[in-house]
Chains A and B, each alone.
Chain A
Amino acid sequence: MVHALNEIRRILKPSGKLIDVRPLEAGWPVEIAAASGVVEAGRLVDLPVAVADDEAASAAMREAQSRGWFVKEREEQFSFYYYWDTPSEMKEFMETEWEGFEKLEEGVFNTVKSIWARANADAQVRVSVKLLITRWG
């Protein structure tokens, strides 16, 4: 990762900016969202591989900063939502796309199904992924 950051520094103009956008493991909330409101059903469990990836990325940026390659100018966090029409579709996605990184515990899934089944017809299931965006000069 540090080598890649040095490559990025090489191809940037002296006044260039690096924008780093990445998810942060934070026990992302699973919610039922409808026009009438949003209800949290529980949270995903961050698996060790995902947490280690997070830590490695942060360590690489710290190393780049300590070598004087980049200076942090601005940083914020925001939510990036994934929506599904049904709890089953959400579960299927997680089992294929997020396997090894995020775990949907059975109890949380049952709560999602229960809340969703009682909600209005427009209700969707969503996961609020926490994103970090940082500008480096």
Chain B
Amino acid sequence: MSLQKDPEGNEKKYLHKFADFKNKRVLEIGCGEGRMTWKYASTSNLTIGLDPDRDALRVARADSPADWRGQVHFTNASARNIPFTKETFDIAILAWSL
């Protein structure tokens, strides 16, 4: 299939217009296969992608660029019970997941 999603890069443009990710700790809720994650994670200090779908996370981990692996992690969890202590993140992203 020849599907292309957002080749204009509008989503990336708006993400960076709305938040400064530089040196920030970011939690992305509903990261799925990491489609959105790759649009900002390289500038963050730490990005955690959260999703209840283990298969999607497997794809995200496999697609994770080797030089980002210290700074991007994926966790199998739901937004109803986020497995982190309070006041951990500078930015939370609801990625098409509310």
Contacts and interface: CB of A to CB of B under 8 A. Distances in A.
Interface of A: 1, 3-4, 7-8, 10-23, 57, 60-61, 74, 76, 78-86, 89, 92-93, 131, 133, 135
Given A15-B90, A21-B11, A60-B98, A135 B19 contact: yes
A81 B80 contact: no
A12 B5 CA distance: 30
B17 to A, nearest CB: 8
Interface residues of B, number: 37
Contacts of B81: 7
B interface, by DSSP: helix, strand, loop or mixed?
A: loop
Nearest to A23: B96
A interface, by DSSP: helix, strand, loop or mixed?
A: strand
A126 B63 CA distance: 26
Interface of B: 1-8, 10-11, 14-15, 18-19, 27, 29, 36, 78-82, 84-98
A81 to B, nearest CB: 6
Given A80-B6, A82-B3, A22 B94 contact: yes
Nearest to A19: B93
Given A7-B79, A57-B98, A60-B98, A13 B90 contact: yes
The CB with the most chain B CB atoms within 10 A, among A8, A15, A23, A74, is that of A8
